[in-house]
């Protein structure tokens, strides 16, 4: 059974392992990227591409945030990574294995998805809803093992005290934690999340993203809040008009010129008053009608 870490592993430490093989000491074994995307594209019929020639890699344990204007292809990219959509061209690999070669059961135990609009039966208890994530294991795992997995997911997301409540009784932040707990019951290696902070208040956004980055999994999260994306990710991917505009560490990708060109607003950096880190501020002007004071 998968045990969820409370700390995120460093990708560079995970990328190379050393072993003794074939009589050679300290032989280097290169570990492939957890996710490798090569020339990925998707379009419907003769319409313009929704994703066009995206190429990037993500190592085990890294957190990727995907940002971009509305309609830039963020949710479509996530569906391609999940195998919900089949690419028009290009390929997605997990641990050097093409996604198209993985069976549905293999995908369900490797990849978990938290969609933007999850609509579980509101009468379900939190525990019963979380248990739905264990469906891929029901045919070959004992009831005791499944119950243990459910309790572990509830504990990881701090939902033990809410486990007997009905889903409709939860706050927005609590529901998102329940969605993530359900996905953890799949015991995935990769977690894909589509705008998990949507409609949450500021504190709940921070709580949900903190839970995500502390899982120790490889995660891909679509976000609209640039400042939160920069804080939670190891790698930042910027989409604009179906194209991958930038990819890399947030401190190098999220420049004032890029934000101005892609989002049409100004980005300013300020030093945190107590901590050794930068705060991001977007200058979003409000256009007001100027009423004339002239008398007629």
The pLDDT tens digits for 180-211 are 999 999 999 999 999 999 988 999 999 999 99
pLDDT band at residue 116, thresholds of 50, 70 and 90? confident
CB count in 10 Å sphere of residue 241: 15
| Residue 9 near residue 216 (C-beta atoms within 8 A) | yes
Domain ranges of the chain: 11-17+28-253, 256-284
CA 49 to chain centre: 23
Could you say which DSSP state residue 55 is in? Answer: E
Indicate whether 288 pLDDT > 50.
yes
Residue 293 pLDDT class (50, 70, 90 cuts): low
User: Helix, strand, or coil here: 101?
Assistant: helix
Cβ neighbours for 123, distance < 8 A, ≥ 6 positions apart: 166, 167, 168
Show Cβ contacts of residue 117 under 8 Å, excluding neighbours closer than 6 positions.
none
- pLDDT at 98 > cutoff 90: yes
What CA–CA distance (Å, rounded) separates 169 from 119?
14
pTM: 0.85
CATH number of the 11-17+28-253 domain:
3.40.50.300
Residues ≥6 apart with Cβ < 8 Å to 76: 42, 50, 51, 85
Q: What share of the chain is helix, strand, coil (3-state, %, to 5)?
A: 35, 30, 40
């Amino acid at each position: 059974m998968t045990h969820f870490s409370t700390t995120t592993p460093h990708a560079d430490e995970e990328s190379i392992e050393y072993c003794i093989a074939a009589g050679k000491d300290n032989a280097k074994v290169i570990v492939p990227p957890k996710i490798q995307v090569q020339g990925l594209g998707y379009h419907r019929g003769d319409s313009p591409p929704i994703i066009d020639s995206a190429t990037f890699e993500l190592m085990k344990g890294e957190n990727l945030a995907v940002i971009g204007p509305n309609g830039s292809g963020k949710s479509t990219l996530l569906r391609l990574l999940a195998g919900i959509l089949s690419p028009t061209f290009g390929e997605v690999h997990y641990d050097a294995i093409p996604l198209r070669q993985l069976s549905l059961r293999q995908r369900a135990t490797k990849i978990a998805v938290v969609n933007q609009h999850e609509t579980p039966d509101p009468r379900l208890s939190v525990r019963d809803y979380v248990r739905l994530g264990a469906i891929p294991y029901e045919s070959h795992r004992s009831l005791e093992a499944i119950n243990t997995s459910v309790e572990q997911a509830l504990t990881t997301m701090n939902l033990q005290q809410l486990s007997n409540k009905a889903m409709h009784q939860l706050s927005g932040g609590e529901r998102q934690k329940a969605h993530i707990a359900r996905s953890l019951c799949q015991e995935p290696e990769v977690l894909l999340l589509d705008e998990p902070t949507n409609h949450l208040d500021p504190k709940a956004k921070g709580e949900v993203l903190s839970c995500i980055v502390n899982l120790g999994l490889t995660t891909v999260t679509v976000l609209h809040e640039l400042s939160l994306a920069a804080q939670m990710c190891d790698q930042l991917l910027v989409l604009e008009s179906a194209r991958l505009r930038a990819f890399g560490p947030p401190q190098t990708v999220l420049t004032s010129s890029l934000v101005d060109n892609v989002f049409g607003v100004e980005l300013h950096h300020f030093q945190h008053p107590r901590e050794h880190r930068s705060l991001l501020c977007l200058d979003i002007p409000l256009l007001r009608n100027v009423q004339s004071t002239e008398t007629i």
